[in-house]
A and B are shown apart, each in its own frame.
Chain A
Amino acid sequence: MSDRWQKTSASPTVPHVQHGGPRDGLTAADLFRSPEETVELDEKLRRTYFWLVNKAVISPFYDVEFDAAKANRFPLGDAGAEITLPTQPAYSSNVLLPLLTFAVGGKCLMIGGPGRGKTTLAVLMGVLAGATPDDVRRHLQQGQPQLTVSDLVGLPLPRDLVSAGSLAEITIAWKSWLTERVKIVDEYNRIPTKTQSALLTMVAEGYVESHDQLRRTAPAAGVESWFFTANDDAGGGTFQVIQALKDRLDVTVQAFGFNGRFFDELVTRVEAGERPEEHVPSSLIFSPDEQSTMLAAIRAVPLPADVRRRLEYFTGQFEFVQHGGRRFEYRTKDVVATAGGDVSAVIDANSGADLVVDLGSQTLNGLSVRALQTLILYAKASAWFRGASSVALDDVRAMVPFVLRGKLLPNPQHPRFEAGDKELAHDPASWLVDLFDTAMKQFVALGLDNADPVGDLLAELGGGLDGLDRLTVSQRLTRIESEVGRISKVGKIYGRDYDDLVALKYLHQRYSNYLHWLEGS
């Protein structure tokens, strides 16, 4: 009966990428290796994805789409719904994102109502790392209102508590889950605040502390990944999740319900009394070395300059707010928020800007460096998973709604969330994709693909200052001032200009300091 679980894709999962086999690199020994032995890690991860999505959790929701422009679109109903039929392979986010998290050693929050396969998926990730299903379940931390720090990390031995002369003499019986490669915290929004803080130390710093003693939580080998589940992402649950812990979660993904058209599989499972985590094919288990190799390969996927430029444009929209402060550098949402101000009201006070054009007015905050790093890493993982040699804009677009959910907060007072687009107020994933698409349309409309004067100036400086004469430096300073003057003449300032102006000031400082040095020497 268990054989039906063992079938994995025998053919390559990326269609027709090769007619005629590899172009080079084969050896005589390769002729006598079975395909299973020579399967590449990205192919193995794709096979794992298809096994998970087709056999283990039955998730026919293909919401992560690529090459959206070529998709066939069909309007549905009278409320603006449409279904898209993409021509490129699409993926189910609630399986793909946990799997990419497993690959990059990230932290994934799975949200959704009870019985939607969140915990099952998390347990499957543990089994993919080589643990037995029983061990994974034993190590799973079940969030509940009485969960103490000791429940989470371990107990001091009672014998030592009585006889020890100092804290250093107390032996802590650390919990064995602490050093597992896959760590699972179920219903994390039911954990008391103090215990959440201990969890934060583990997630953020990689250690736990108890009775003045410290234990590192990184596994001995391989890559560490975290999976959290919650049935609420809006501050509900038994305890409010502390913001610092939420900020540490790399991606948030919605678990989908069960599609009634796949009842036959459900009936089979009930009749056989089977659980998918007990039937993971051995060919899909990742060793610690394989995980480390996989992470190194993902990090090595290049992010081309044109994709990086568009990403810069998108992420540069959100920090600036016109009335955030007096000095130009202080006109940011963070300055307003940290001073206890109302960011919505400050945005609203900017009567000079077009709220439709100003994408920054749709958010209450900017993006943290951590969020940007996560976006880059997951975009690389997406490209690697799809068998691409470099990151495409589609990879960034695909990861935006999951990486930025909960990190880029919508401004509820913005007209975008009124009238016909009210549903965006409670569908952050769609809103974030919409925000990204709008930014990319603006980028094209502004002709930024062809002209990037600030980028050119930065690249010039990147060439170094050594050997530059006064005349060259003066010419560059003039070009910088001219560029600042050009932006100044427009009259309106948007988030996209803020980053450019700060960079231009930086360049001006570097060159003028160098000129002073030249003149003094």
Chain B
Amino acid sequence: MIRRPGHTVNASVRREPATLPSATGLDLDLAVANVARWGGDTGLFGGFLAAGLAGRGADPIEIGQDLAAVAAWRAGVVGLRADALRAVASCLDAGLGEAVGATLGMPGSDVAGFLEGQRTDRFFWPAWQHLGRAYLVARVGGFAGLGGPWLAHPGDVIAAGEGQWLVEVGDELWEIDADLFGHSVSPADEDPADAGEPVDGPGATDIRVVSVPTSYLLEVVRDAA
């Protein structure tokens, strides 16, 4: 079996073909195209957004935009993380806990706790709080021939900040930015010699990225508490 990049949080998501909902004043086809362009999973985006908008009437355009941003983040667009967290808080303030919970794939009553947890730990997921063992959070990278970014096996990994790592691949240095739902892999600007000592992210010192000898994928794992 060929392993692909992905996030464990999506493993139990039921993927059913969802008809893209309509939202007043918003071009959701364009949003789907942008989610795809930014590396998100368009199937997940459509499904989570449909769940969030289900049964809602004509919301103000800002609410539709906020739910779409949360759905896109949930579908793996890591670049939306900061704005999506703002959008989640905004929806909670507006009494839309159930809608934003459906968009995230959790009960509305869990959203406040999830938001609080995410603010200190970008890999926080309520269901994993008391697992008591190490677990896989995500697989990232991969061989170029299978759609990944790399032509060589990834080597040493250096922590560069919260949810950020630098990895040597051949004679190149790449940067990984990841959170619970998505990740981005891009050539690093920094020279390996300048990368300095490993940096621990606040509240997430037990998250590591490890290189696997038999794969070009890197594994993001959380150590046992």
| Chain A contact residues, CB within 8 Å of chain B | 16-35, 389-390
How far is it, in angstroms, between the C-alpha of A24 and the C-alpha of B179 when the chains are bound?
Answer: 11
Chain A residue at smallest Cβ distance from B83: A27
Among B27, B38, B81, the residue within 8 A (CB) of A32 is B27
Q: Please tell me the number of chain B residues within 8 Å of chain A, measured between CB atoms.
A: 39
How far is it, in angstroms, between the C-alpha of A22 and the C-alpha of B83 when the chains are bound?
Answer: 13
How far is it, in angstroms, between the C-alpha of A25 and the C-alpha of B84 when the chains are bound?
Answer: 11
Task: Tell me whether A32 and B186 are in contact in the complex, defined as CB-CB below 8 angstroms, given that A23-B177, A26-B80 are known contacts.
Answer: no
How far is it, in angstroms, between the C-alpha of A30 and the C-alpha of B82 when the chains are bound?
Answer: 13
B78 near A23 with CB under 8 A, answer: yes
Number of A-B contacts (CB under 8 A): 92
A19 near B184 with CB under 8 A, answer: yes
Among B12-20, B64-72, B106-114, the one that faces the other chain is B64-72
How far is it, in angstroms, between the C-alpha of A398 and the C-alpha of B35 when the chains are bound?
Answer: 37
Task: Tell me whether A24 and B185 are in contact in the complex, defined as CB-CB below 8 angstroms, given that A31-B34, A31-B69 are known contacts.
Answer: no
How far is it, in angstroms, between the C-alpha of A217 and the C-alpha of B66 when the chains are bound?
Answer: 49
Q: In the assembled complex, which residues on chain B have CB atoms less than 8 Å from the CB atom of A23?
A: 78-79, 175, 177, 184, 186
How far is it, in angstroms, between the C-alpha of A29 and the C-alpha of B30 when the chains are bound?
Answer: 11
Q: In the assembled complex, which residues on chain A have CB atoms less than 8 Å from the CB atom of B84?
A: 28
A20 near B185 with CB under 8 A, answer: yes
Among A21, A31, A34, the residue within 8 A (CB) of B184 is A21
Among A17, A22, A31, A389, the residue within 8 A (CB) of B31 is A31
Task: Tell me whether A26 and B77 are in contact in the complex, defined as CB-CB below 8 angstroms, given that A20-B38, A389-B189 are known contacts.
Answer: yes
Q: In the assembled complex, which residues on chain A have CB atoms less than 8 Å from the CB atom of B34?
A: 30-33, 35
Q: Is B37 an interface residue (CB 8 A)?
A: yes
Q: In the assembled complex, which residues on chain B have CB atoms less than 8 Å from the CB atom of A22?
A: 38, 79, 184
Task: Tell me whether A21 and B30 are in contact in the complex, defined as CB-CB below 8 angstroms, given that A26-B83, A390-B189 are known contacts.
Answer: no
Interface membership of chain B positions 101-127, coded 1 if the CB is closer than 8 angstroms to chain A and 0 otherwise: 000000000000000000000000000
A32 near B65 with CB under 8 A, answer: yes
* A–B pairs, 26, beta carbons within 8 Å: A17-B187, A18-B39, A18-B186, A20-B39, A20-B76, A20-B177, A20-B182, A20-B185, A21-B38, A21-B77, A23-B79, A24-B78, A24-B81, A24-B82, A26-B77, A28-B65, A30-B34, A31-B34, A31-B35, A31-B69, A32-B31, A32-B34, A32-B68, A33-B30, A35-B33, A389-B189
Q: Is B54 an interface residue (CB 8 A)?
A: no
Chain A residue at smallest Cβ distance from B184: A20
How far is it, in angstroms, between the C-alpha of A24 and the C-alpha of B175 when the chains are bound?
Answer: 13
Q: In the assembled complex, which residues on chain B have CB atoms less than 8 Å from the CB atom of A18?
A: 39, 184-186
Q: Which of A16, A18, A20, A30 has the most CB of B within 10 A?
A: A20
Q: Which of B80, B82, B87 has the most CB of A within 10 A?
A: B80
How far is it, in angstroms, between the C-alpha of A23 and the C-alpha of B162 when the chains are bound?
Answer: 12
Instruction: Report the minimal beta-carbon distance from A516 to chain B, rounded to whole angstroms.
Output: 41
Chain A residue at smallest Cβ distance from B69: A28
Chain A residue at smallest Cβ distance from B188: A389
Q: In the assembled complex, which residues on chain A have CB atoms less than 8 Å from the CB atom of B183?
A: 20
Within 8 A of A (CB), among B40-63: 40
How far is it, in angstroms, between the C-alpha of A24 and the C-alpha of B37 when the chains are bound?
Answer: 14
Chain A residue at smallest Cβ distance from B32: A31
Q: Is B148 an interface residue (CB 8 A)?
A: yes
Q: Is B203 an interface residue (CB 8 A)?
A: no
How far is it, in angstroms, between the C-alpha of A210 and the C-alpha of B77 when the chains are bound?
Answer: 61
Task: Tell me whether A25 and B69 are in contact in the complex, defined as CB-CB below 8 angstroms, given that A16-B149, A17-B186, A19-B185 are known contacts.
Answer: no
Chain A residue at smallest Cβ distance from B80: A26
Among A17, A24, A29, A389, the residue within 8 A (CB) of B79 is A24
Q: In the assembled complex, which residues on chain B have CB atoms less than 8 Å from the CB atom of A30?
A: 34, 80
Q: Which of B30, B81, B83, B141 has the most CB of A within 10 A?
A: B83
Chain A residue at smallest Cβ distance from B141: A19
Instruction: Report the minimal beta-carbon distance from B87 to chain A, rounded to whole angstroms.
Output: 6
B83 near A34 with CB under 8 A, answer: no
Instruction: Report the minimal beta-carbon distance from B33 to chain A, rounded to whole angstroms.
Output: 8
Q: Is B26 an interface residue (CB 8 A)?
A: yes
Q: In the assembled complex, which residues on chain B have CB atoms less than 8 Å from the CB atom of A29?
A: 65
Q: In the assembled complex, which residues on chain A have CB atoms less than 8 Å from the CB atom of B66?
A: 28
